Structure 1
Amino acid sequence: MTAPRVVSVQTGLARPLMVGGRRVLSAIGKTPVTGPVAVGRLGLDGDEQADLSVHGGLDKAVYAYPVEHLPTWQRWRREAGVTLFDEPLPFGFVGENLSVEGLLEHEVWIGDQWVLGDLVLRVTAPREPCFKFNAVTGLPDAGRRMVEGRCSGWYLAVVQPGTVHAGVAVTVRPGSRGMTVAEAFMARRVKHIR
């Protein structure tokens, strides 16, 4: 097993995005940054969220996503004819702030704390896909694929502000261990289906 670490750090500003012929504001477009980035209670310096009803705020200040899922998204895009190339997808592809390695949804527990140097984060919830996510991936069924593949990533709250940088190790402090991110994601999906 790979020791958990942050592979890349991304930020992005809110800007117009064309979705189904209409213009919406979105900050899903994240690009990698170099060097340490300050992280306050509401997230990374230089990062924005466009729709605070579903992203951002104290409980969803930072979004983490496993790099292990990127080859699957690349394959799905190739199979759907969205791309003909085998180039790896860029970090930030799904709008994540932290591209992480060595932790997957079934191994990450709601309430666990992550210590990254002087920064402490707490796992709060899985990400749920939205219509903007479908547009950015180029797959009209990207949300369904995220659900079926159980590859949601997760949100984190900032317990202790600090800095984050690519390469920093993630030390996990176990919380109550009541539910994993994968279990919480599937519980939410079942609730929405009913």
Structure 2
Amino acid sequence: MKVTSINVGKPQVLIVDGKELITGIMKFPSDAPLFLSSIQLEGDGQADLAVHGGVDKALCVYCQEHYSHWEQVLGEKLEYGAFGENVTVLGLLESDVCIGDRYELGAALVEVTQPRQPCFKLAKRYGRVDLPLMVQKTGFTGFYFRVIREGIIPVQPDVRLVSRHPGGVTVQLANQLKYHDVRNIEGIKRILAVEELSASWRASFSKRLIELEEANV
């Protein structure tokens, strides 16, 4: 496991199709240590707080291993922070990381809460309307951390697994249940049993479970 870049950026205005778009997706590598609070990294910001940021999504994480795939798809070289992530990592793939896993990141302690949901602003940034759906289909989504203990994050912090969640619900499985295996009642119950799941994903899965169980009555 290795952190290759810590990235931050304040919301800014992009001109897309002749219209102004305010977005916090533009993140760039930091060259100084930053303080990680319970809601976000120093120097960072989100434009739409209804769907981004907050205690369950304090840090967005993306896997460097996926960069080569997207460089081929987009036909350009991508710099760290290209997917709006705060933390670019090696060795923390969606297939290995579980909801509720805890890591030490620099002086901070963080916990996995949910996969990252690609939004339309990713499509706007790269001029590919199909990009969010492609991210969903590949499962190369990345994920979010909540902050258990605040602390300073160095430029290239050490990352260490502190505890593995016994539920074993990987980010990959969460994506599968969310977007593909949508009628899997037992799978939904399994992910809902993970107390560390983010509030928004818990609400979504709880609603779906009720609908599926009512349909089977």
Contact 1:112 1:177 in 2 (8 A): no
Pairing of 1:39-50 with structure 2 (within 5 A): 39-50=36-47
Structure 2 residue ranges without an equivalent (≥5): 183-203, 209-217
Is 1:122 the equivalent of 2:122?
no
**Residue matched to 2:167:** 177
Quick one: distance in 1 between partners of 2:14 and 2:145? 25
The one of 115, 137, 145 aligned to 2:126: 137
What is the TM-score normalised by the length of structure 2? 0.79
**Shift of residue 170, structure 1, vs aligned partner:** 1.5
Pairing of 1:85-100 with structure 2 (within 5 A): 88-100=77-89
Cα distance change of structure 1 residues 18 and 171 upon mapping to structure 2, 3 Å threshold:
same
Quick one: distance in 1 between partners of 2:97 and 2:126? 24
Quick one: distance in 1 between partners of 2:100 and 2:143? 11
**Shift of residue 67, structure 1, vs aligned partner:** 0.6
**Residue matched to 2:29:** 32
**Shift of residue 186, structure 1, vs aligned partner:** 2.2
CA deviations on 1:40-82 (whole Å, 9 max, x unpaired) are 001100100111111100000100101111111100012xxxx
What is the TM-score normalised by the length of structure 1? 0.87
Is 1:189 the equivalent of 2:186?
no
**Shift of residue 144, structure 1, vs aligned partner:** 1.6
**Residue matched to 2:196:** none
Structure 1 residue ranges without an equivalent (≥5): none
Structure with higher helix content? 2
Quick one: distance in 2 between partners of 1:174 and 1:35? 30
For 1:44, what is the secondary structure of its paired residue?
coil
Of 10-19 and 147-156, deviating more is 10-19
When Rg is computed on C-alpha atoms for both structures, the one with the higher figure is 2
Quick one: distance in 1 between partners of 2:156 and 2:104? 13
Cα distance change of structure 1 residues 186 and 17 upon mapping to structure 2, 3 Å threshold:
farther
